[in-house]
Amino acid sequence: MIETPSRILVVDDEPSITEFVSYALKKEGYEADVVDNGEDAFALASSNNYDLFVLDIMLPGMDGYELCRRLRSKTTAPVLFLSARDTELDKVVGLEIGGDDYLAKPFGVRELIARVRALLRRGQGGEFPGASNSITASGITLDEDAHTAAGDHGEIDLTPREFELLASLMKSAGKVVSREDLLRDAWGWEYLTETKTVDTHIKRLRDKIHAAGYDPGLVETVRGYGYRFKA
């Protein structure tokens, strides 16, 4: 199946966020354009065919809601809102306006990509029930939809964070992933968390992998660089 990459427009006035988001999207194979205000966003959207919009609610001038309302007159492409706070009010308003999904800051790369993928799939003629969204390596399969990890010996029960962590590692199976990258992927861009915290989660992850009857050595330590999931 030949696929042309989906085009995404990212609208946010904070460079640190647009950069984080566009980097994550590009790495995933999407085409991403960035603008820092609603006016330019609307102009760009009018002259281009975007498959998805990622909008911050708080924007100088025309805010995200207003922009979304206007976009709706032009296109049916899905809209993913970013919000500073995960307040109930925002959520309701956003969804009423025609926003399709919601992401509260701070969010990790993996969470972002998951939402984007879901929205794009939805847009392109419904979901494919068979096309499960999973990662497999070294006998472990991670089902991203069901949020489960399992292998021959049955399921490994993981907390959300542990799941994200394992997913980050397995996605780069065979490659070293630094603690910083893991924090970016599984935690978020504003990782105020200590890199040491990753160590603790790795330990817990290994324990659970072990308890479920698998080899805890699947998560390898690469001294001085980070961790690596055995390929």
Residues 90-109 that bind a second copy (CB under 8 A): 92, 95-98, 100
Rounded distance between C-alpha atoms, residue 107 and residue 146, angstroms: 19
Check binding of 171 to DNA (CB under 7 A).
no
Q: Which of 61, 87, 194, 213 binds DNA (CB under 7 A)?
A: 194
Instruction: Report in angstroms how near the CB of residue 131 gets to DNA at its nearest.
Output: 26
Q: Which amino acid type is present at position 110? A: R
Q: Which of 87, 136, 159, 200 binds a second copy (CB under 8 A)?
A: 159
Q: In 85-164, where do the E strands start and end?
A: 101-104, 134-137, 140-143, 148-151, 154-156
Q: Which of 57, 167, 226, 229 binds DNA (CB under 7 A)?
A: 226
H-helix or E-strand containing 219? Answer: strand 219-222
Check binding of 50 to a second copy (CB under 8 A).
no
Residue 145 interacting entry, from DNA, a second copy, none, C-beta within 5 to 8 Å by type:
a second copy
| C-beta of 39 vs 86, nearer to DNA | 86
**In sequence order, what are the beta bridge partners of 9?**
33, 53
Query: Phi, psi (5° rounding) for residue 198?
Result: -60, -40
DSSP characters over 3-58: -PPPEEEEE-S-HHHHHHHHHHHHHTT-EEEEESSHHHHHHHHHHS--SEEEEES-
Judged by CB under 8 A, the stretch of 44-52, 58-66, 125-133, 196-204 that binds a second copy is 125-133
Rounded distance between C-alpha atoms, residue 202 and residue 205, angstroms: 5
Check binding of 1 to a second copy (CB under 8 A).
no
Check binding of 130 to a second copy (CB under 8 A).
no
Q: How many of the chain's residues bind a second copy (CB under 8 A)?
A: 39
Residue that has been written with the tokens 């790795």 in this structure: 202
Check binding of 224 to DNA (CB under 7 A).
yes
Checking DSSP bridges between strand 134-137 and strand 140-143, what pairing results, if any?
antiparallel
Q: Where on the chain is the footprint of a second copy (CB under 8 A)? A: 15-16, 19, 23, 26-29, 31, 34, 72, 76, 92, 95-98, 100, 122, 125-127, 145-147, 159-160, 174-176, 189-190, 192, 222-225, 228, 231
